Structure 1
Amino acid sequence: MEDMHVAVQQDDIEQKEKLRLWVRLLRASRMIEAELRNRFAVEFNTTLPRFDVMAALDRFPDGMLMSDLSRYLLVSNGNVTGIIERLVQEGFVSRAKREGDKRTSIVSLTAEGCALFAQMADAHERWVSAYLNAMSLDEARTLSGMLESFRSNWEDHSPE
């Protein structure tokens, strides 16, 4: 009976430690995100969601369907549509009708959009590196590998 009590206590300790880890990950993520939002606003007069849209389009130089872009970013079509509209007006994104289907549009970065995104991506990389400066290369690789392993396990076996 005492062994069972010890096992229950160990489970409680493990659950609390995992919850503590989650809170720390969330806090770190939110702190960095807040800093990034501020830096993008100050240095590029833009928003983090606009950067995310441009980053997705940069990965697909032949363009993306709006619905694919929304799915890729895990946001609604409505969220992406407003951002794309402004980027098109500013000349950073082009929109073309899909051949054979006038209802769907393919969006892609323009040359001007590619140039701006390259500047923003370089700054973004420097900022994140500076925020995580206290972490060694080995620590960064270890934590990244652990989180990748977690993601793979979680995708394969969602929690009960």
Structure 2
Amino acid sequence: MRKRTETDISEPLDAETGLHARPNDHRTELRLWLRLLTCANLIEAEIRKRLRERFATTLPRFDLMAQLERAPDGIMLGELSRRMMVSNGNVTGLVERLVQEGLLERQVSETDRRAVRVRLTPHGKTVFAEMAKAHGDWLGELIGAMDESAQEDLWARLGVLKASVHKASEHDGAC
């Protein structure tokens, strides 16, 4: 990561930082949205970097393996796509590479050759367990400046926000 220079100081680090200079010019909802987005982006970028550096893997591969870790009997490819909110083609490509590395196995349905179930191999379970432990440790480190009660409070408040978003989405017919 490059060090910020004096000429960089006038440029905000992110959209939220740019609002800091004139907070009263912007609605609280906008400032809150940008704060949430900034935090999520910062955490995700750091997790992506650490996965790449320590395990030579990507966040989508980690996410796919996490879905499979929760389903010992495996998951159909279409269901996996739905859970990960990506196209079937994206999942198929990820699965193919993970199968080649011996982390996943495919099972083709005897009744419908188009239906494919995938699951972690024993080696895949071992590799994922190591990644999941590191992932949890990293989140603890990144969020660790907040004490447990502050984390619980934020969790509850974000639950209220989530409910608000769901309610507004249903009302507007977006869901």
Q: Determine the structure 2 residue equivalent to 1:6.
A: none
When normalised by structure 1's length, the TM-score is: 0.87
Alignment of 1:1-160 (within 5 A): 16-158=27-169, 160=172
SS in 1 for 2:86: coil
When normalised by structure 2's length, the TM-score is: 0.80
How high is the sequence identity, in percent, across the aligned residues?
A: 45
Deviations 1:58-98 (A, max 9, x none): 01111001010010011111111111100000000000012
Q: CA RMSD in A?
A: 1.5
Distance in 1 between the 2:72 and 2:154 partners?
31
Distance in 1 between the 2:80 and 2:167 partners?
24
Q: Which has the higher helix share?
A: 1
Q: How far apart are residue 99 of structure 1 and its match?
A: 3.3
Q: Which residues of structure 1 form unaligned runs of 5+?
A: 1-12
Q: How far apart are residue 119 of structure 1 and its match?
A: 0.3
Q: Which residues of structure 2 form unaligned runs of 5+?
A: 1-23
Distance in 1 between the 2:164 and 2:71 partners?
27
Higher RCO, 1 or 2 (CA under 8 Å, sep at least 6)? 1
